[in-house]
Structure 1
């Protein structure tokens, strides 16, 4: 396997550093924050002085990163810098540990194997901070354990996948921040043995996924599969072979739950997925955002969904998996759903909605499978009181519930709203307040930003789900930069991501009439209906006047672009690790700036006395863009497979997913490509 992207620079530096640590106080910031962390002095241990380890019970060492170098096991306590052991009687929750650093010794006691692994991950971060600040390790005591036991992130590969190396590196990254689960929405990216038609060319084999699953398990991460069912089934029902299983013959969206062959197919896919992910605890069965027609059966949409849900939950139970089901459709059909998406509603108003409609849910209570986990998801209004109300309703009726927040929803190019940190925080807090032991961070591939751009949200999720609400957003942003790049780069002057988010939000529709980027492919006349007009050379200045507000946004983008570019350049020079992440951000910045520059070129044409020169600039925009696109694709393709296979069948795109709108990477640049087409037709 290739050397890990994220740690290669650091590893080289730690092992071969010539800088000798000194005894002065350093700035040690662990993520996630330990439950108790007290520093009382400076030890004699430098970052490179940890050589030998000892365990009285000969407990096997966990799999270590390269941060500590090659540790040697000794049978003599005085020789060891690390003394560790597992003690199941410790008064700590599962995955807990005690870590003590004295003058010249590191003592670790862990509740279990996972706790021992996490103790070493914490030690890794202390060693990294000591190295980067050229100081010794602190004399300190740490008592630590997670507030939520199951902390899962989403790996959604519905529209593309990354290289296998990237997934292995990702697992190392997640493990370093004490994330302990992945739910993999594999769709057609698994080579199904029983239903090979479903699989895309280039899908990973069962053995490749299984090997990845084993690698993750060794790092205390369990991968469970998500195979969409009932609705969101376009990746299956788009194929001619399966059209007879559609609920609506004209739509590839949903299965017919009354056709027994629906279950034959779904169970085939489930069996192959469970074989590919043998170490997982769950089978996520989907089930959201679907209303079935009933095929003149006289059954309601909710009745039909419960028929399906009962059958697939029984399958999961028979195959020793716990089924997870998105909870939205029963809540919608019963009329209580609005209370979860209006954060302005008071508790009294929420209670009124439930009082008026709860009987509709209770009528079907006996049909809700008890072996199922009902996943209460909310990505934008997670502080709405209706969320906690729904969680409590499930729990009060002896039904299991898991919360699901989001680090990426339908944002184009990169996550927005400070990596959605407010919603991550509030939903994790709601889960802790309701004594839930599981939480899920969704990372949707619908509009497919680069996965590296999810990392700040993932670290925030790791922080809140382990430690609770102990740090502010600004503290987490600072620590994100320290942990992901270097201690020096934690300084406020390098906080460019929020500024870039603002640029991207302005960029999305800056060439368009309204919020239409996702819908350009569906328009009959996108040049007229979707794109802004171009300057009329016979009416100078009119276009500038009509686009005054848009051009003000352009000025903001260009000012921010220069600042962000300078920050990224400096960070690339100084970073200790994750240089590639900065390269990805750099490409986002360049793409956004291009659209702004294009509008400035149109403004110049609209006001120019040198019409030919300005027109030449406008006509050359396409050539300029090709260079930017080529560089972006070069960077992205280091880890991402950009193009779908030549024989790939695009589905009907019911929810206007950008990443589903072309075989190649054109979907990312639809608006820009249409601009060039319009320029050619106009001039």
Structure 2
């Protein structure tokens, strides 16, 4: 009996050892239909040849297939692909099938082929990492929104060209098909050369980048701010005469013909730099003008400007996009868009009271314009959907804009705004809109690597809606970006890091003042918390007891995250740079609260000797800070141009943008630098070094 049992066991083991191992495959965006029926005989290394009945070449961005070669017989190919315009599926759609030893992709159009291959790329990544064969599967896939664009905001800094090229390959992989590039002074303008920063890309450099993007089905359109947000132009004394208010560099005078000469020149150069884009985003938000006290209302003046620039865009074959906030604000229907708790009855009453103003100005609203309804926090509000419906019902084009980064420091907060992104995507899909924009504002300038979770979440939701839960998305994100081994919740750290980062912003300050320190006459006194006093030991500790407790929690959280990041680094070779950036952010968020703990140690010292020991620890911490600062700058500078040129002119900083407050990178550390200066002045005066 024992021999019989051993024989059966050996036989079972032998059989099981030949059964191919099943892999765990998670694709983003989530396909509309994805069925796995088993394991194919294809390993990733088996893909040697491809065949196309249409005699098509592989599209740009297919480097993941290695040295795969074209053959003239289907029988000799492991990959077969075709484009069939008559195929009954939405634009950009495709069907991907893997049957035993062959992969086939049938696409509606060239974009569909690019996206079918993007899904194959992700299948191959999962199979290679897990050491398994590709799955027997059938994928039928297409987007729910046809325009899925992200925002490149380079007004306060730019990345290296190499970083942008690599980023375009990533965006293609996640089926992003548009970029709105807010270029401001980062073009070397030919027609208005004074405007371009000395570190700007040339028109030709932007054009080559645009062509690279278009080959990956990503159309880049420029955003050149016009009426307001014009400081990048009007800060120069040569343009001061064009200001609406001579004391402010914020807005152009819309009644001065020379305004349009300058703006049209900037548009011309931007269109040359981005020749493949469908749109010209003209900005137009957050601005009120008087036309030099012309007597015309701000809304009248904005519509004069809007009609002129929309005519220009039409003449150039571009569809203008206009931020719509000032129009809605000035007719009285703006507030309900940001108050989801406001009931339908109340919202309708506000609209009933004010809609006649909208109707009054309706004939003046350009019909060739897309009115972009931005809402980064409450897209689900009835007031927001009602405003968007009003445009559609009155024959106007409308599109939404959500956000993956607003005014958060160091990194995006609120789970990367994933829920708000999803809410606006679902609303846009259900409303039958063409697309959605994901804004990524550079105002406080976190590293772009930290936007990628939001970008991929946006890509997922605009492509396939809410087919997976937010928790399922986060697991898929960790698998795609880090490793299948790091997909489980125990490796999640990004949401956890948001908490100490949020506290870090003001942990040394008297309230929410980090963005305002540089404009204060005495920032150390007006902005920073007080220091312990030798004459009143223990008072500081009692006053800041809750703050010190928060600091202790910040340190504990960052220590936990440090362990998780170390584990992920050991598990994967993918995206090591992104992990390194998160590591630097975690170090900074965990460093600053340590200063509070040492100030408490100083405050609670029993005698002069203990105070001097605490002061020595603070001095050592200061050295650690500058080492950390150098380490963070070294990491960021691998892809980012950290320092503005020496000849760069800072503008009036109307909206208190951290990244607009120094020409070097010190704006990132202003509170810490000021606090160490304050300690040097105050505490060291209390303990002068003995003479001799």
Q: Tell whether the structures are fold-level matches, with TM greater than 0.5.
A: yes
Residue 323 of structure 1: aligned partner = 320
TM-score (norm 2): 0.95
| Partner-residue secondary structure (3-state), 1:620 | helix
1:153 aligns with 2:165: no
1:624 is matched with 624
Alignment partner of 1:309 is 2:301: no
1:199-252: per-residue Cα shift (whole Å, max 9, x none)? Answer: 111100000000000000011100000000000000000000000000000000
Distance 1:64 1:169, change over 3 A: closer
**What residue number does 1:384 align with?**
381
1:265-344 → structure 2 map (5 Å cutoff): 265-344=262-341
Q: Does 1:262 align with 2:262?
A: no
| 1:252 lines up with 2:249 in the alignment | yes
Q: Secondary structure at the match of 2:225?
A: strand
Name the counterpart of 2:643. 643
Give per-residue Cα distances to partners, 1:71-92, cap 9 Å, x unaligned: 1111111111111111111111
Distance 2:19 2:162 in 1: 37
Segment of structure 1 superposing worse, 612-621 or 254-263: 612-621
Structure 1 runs not aligned, ≥5 long: 1-19
- The aligned residue for residue 6 of structure 2 is none
Equivalent residue for 1:345, pick from 342, 346, 353: 342
Equivalence for 1:579 = 576
1:134 & 1:389 partners in 2: Cα distance?
A: 51
Normalised TM-score (structure 1): 0.96
Q: How big is each residue's C-alpha offset from its partner over 1:594-647, in whole Å with a ceiling of 9 and x where there is no partner?
A: 111111110111112311101122233322210000000000000000000001
The answer as to 2:181 corresponding to 1:187 is no
Please, which moves more after superposition, 442-451 or 58-67? 58-67
1:442-484 deviations in Å (ceiling 9; x for gaps)? 0000000000000000000000010111111111111111111
Matches within 5 A, 1:90-169: 90-169=87-166
Q: Equivalents in 2 of 1:142, 1:73: separation in Å?
A: 24
Of 333, 351, 355, 1:354 maps to: 351
- 1:492 maps onto 2:489 in alignment: yes
The answer for the alignment partner of 1:217 in structure 2 is 214
| Aligned pair partner of 2:402 in 402, 405, 409 | 405
Structure 2: 5+ residue stretches without partners: 1-16, 684-692
Q: Is the 8 A contact 1:67 1:128 kept in 2?
A: no
Partner deviation per Cα, 1:25-73 (whole Å, 9 max, x = no partner):
2111100011011111111111111111111121222124332221111
Aligned partner of 2:8 in structure 1 is none
Q: CA offsets, 1:111-151, max 9 Å, x none?
A: 00000010000000011111111111111111000000111
- Output the aligned Cα RMSD: 1.1
Quote the Cα distance in structure 1 between the aligned partners of 2:282 and 2:82. 40
What is the distance in 2 between the residues matched to 1:349 and 1:424? 26
Alpha-carbon shift at residue 21 of structure 1 (Å): 11
Indicate the SS of the match to 2:327.
Answer: helix
Q: Is the 8 A contact 2:555 2:591 kept in 1?
A: no
Out of 434, 459, 464, the position equivalent to 1:462 is 459
1:296 deviates by 2.8
Query: Within 5 Å, which residues of 2 pair with 1:168-179?
Result: 168-179=165-176
- Aligned counterparts of 1:356 and 1:556: Cα–Cα separation in 2: 50
Q: How many residues align?
A: 664
Residue 22 of structure 1 deviates from its aligned partner by 6.8
Contact 1:21 / 1:47 at 8 angstroms: preserved in 2? no
- Which residue of structure 1 aligns with residue 3 of structure 2? none
Q: How many angstroms apart in 1 are the aligned matches of 2:616 and 2:56?
A: 72
Paired with 1:456 and 1:644, the residues of 2 have a C-alpha distance of 28
Contact kept? 2:541, 2:600, Cα under 8 Å: yes
1:87 to 84, 87, 90: 84
CA distance in 2, matches of 1:170, 1:575: 20
8 Å contact from structure 2 (residues 61, 216) kept in 1: no
Q: Which has more radius of gyration?
A: 2
Other-structure match for 1:653: 653
Q: Distance in 2 between matches of 1:294 and 1:649?
A: 26
> Is contact 1:21-1:135 (8 Å) kept?
no
Q: Is the 8 A contact 1:40 1:139 kept in 2?
A: yes
